[in-house]
């Protein structure tokens, strides 16, 4: 049976108080699609205001520190994020893996910290263009996944993977349906190897230049259980057609 689709927006470093109305518009419109889980991962400082503005709608963060508390200037723990009203967080986004030099070990520790305090996780993996062109995309992403996965999925918090080819993020370029299908099938096999039957229930999202115009084709691919959406998640007018496509795909 197909998993319920998850469409999550990643606002990255976008969003001010004046954008709360857009979050409300997305939350309100999403109520028409109870067959899809919809979430918005907003800048940390907006989490509390967003969560108060849209009770019952899933607001998430974009990163957490792996420690519960301590001398980590400028960082935010998973407990703090939950306390502010987040129900999930992204970890291991390629922009952090690259700019903040986050390792697989760190990403794994962040995922474990979030899950252990009941915060859902979207863990990102993906290859560079160089790796794709060398024909190593699947092996490289499998290795990244294996090294980043939390040890156990015990607990209530939701755990999802986002496959985001780095060259597709914000570029308007998207892999072919066959390339997405090949990667998602490989990731599904790795998840089952890691978690037995529960690996079959982990949603695998595709991310990278998802738009209303290409969402239906992407959601039709086997093992694509939703999307992580950057640029097209900032406005309800761009984001809702993606949610509608996920609902239509079932």
Query: Considering 93, 95, 127, 184, which one is annotated as catalytic?
Result: 93
Between residues 64 and 169, which has the closer beta carbon with respect to ligand PGA?
169
Using the rule CB under 6 A, is 123 a contact of ligand PGA?
Answer: no
209 binds ligand PGA (CB under 6 A): yes
Q: CA-to-CA distance for 79 and 114, rounded, in angstroms? A: 8
How many angstroms separate the CA atoms of 77 and 51, rounded? 17
**Under rule CB under 6 A, residue 210 binds ligand PGA:** yes
Backbone phi, then psi, for 232, in 5-degree steps?
A: -80, 5
Strand partners, 37: 6
Per CB under 6 A, 208 contacts ligand PGA:
yes
Residue window 220-239: x/- pattern of binding to ligand PGA, with contact defined by CB under 6 A? --------xxxxx-------
Q: Is there binding between residue 44 and ligand PGA (CB under 6 A)?
A: no
- Verify binding: residue 183, ligand PGA, rule CB under 6 A: no
User: Is 93 marked active-site?
Assistant: yes
Choose one: 19-27, 131-139, 182-190, 202-210; the region binding ligand PGA (CB under 6 A): 202-210
Which distant-in-sequence residues (6+ apart) come within 8 Å of 21 by Cβ?
A: none
Q: Assess 161 for contact with ligand PGA (CB under 6 A).
A: no
Which stretch, 66-74, 81-89, 164-172, 191-199, contacts ligand PGA (CB under 6 A)? 164-172
C-alpha–C-alpha distance, residues 148 and 238, integer Å? 31
Q: Where along the sequence are the contacts to ligand PGA (CB under 6 A)?
A: 10, 164, 169-170, 207-210, 228-232
Active site residues: 93, 164
């Amino acid at each position: 049976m197909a998993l319920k689709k998850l469409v999550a927006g990643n606002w990255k470093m976008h969003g001010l108080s004046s954008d709360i109305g857009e979050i409300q518009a997305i939350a309100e419109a999403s109520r028409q699609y109870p067959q899809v889980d919809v979430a918005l991962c907003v800048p940390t400082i907006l989490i509390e205001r967003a969560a108060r503005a849209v009770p019952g709608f899933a607001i998430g963060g974009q990163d957490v520190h792996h420690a519960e508390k301590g001398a980590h200037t400028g960082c935010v723990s998973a407990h703090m994020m939950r306390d502010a009203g987040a129900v999930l967080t992204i970890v291991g986004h390629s922009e952090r893996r690259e700019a903040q030099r986050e390792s697989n070990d760190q990403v794994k520790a962040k995922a474990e910290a979030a899950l252990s305090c009941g915060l859902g996780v979207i863990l990102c993996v993906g290859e560079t263009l160089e790796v794709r062109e060398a024909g190593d995309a699947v092996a490289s992403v499998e290795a990244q996944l294996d090294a980043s996965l939390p040890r156990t999925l015990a607990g209530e918090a939701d755990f999802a993977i986002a496959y985001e080819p780095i060259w597709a993020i914000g570029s308007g370029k998207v892999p072919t349906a066959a390339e997405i299908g090949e990667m998602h099938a490989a990731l599904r096999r790795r998840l089952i190897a890691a978690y037995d039957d529960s690996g079959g229930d982990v949603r695998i999202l595709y991310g990278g230049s998802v738009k209303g115009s290409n969402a239906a084709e992407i959601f039709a691919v086997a093992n694509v259980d939703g999307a992580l959406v950057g640029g097209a998640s900032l406005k309800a007018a761009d984001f809702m057609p993606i949610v509608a496509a996920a609902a239509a795909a079932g």
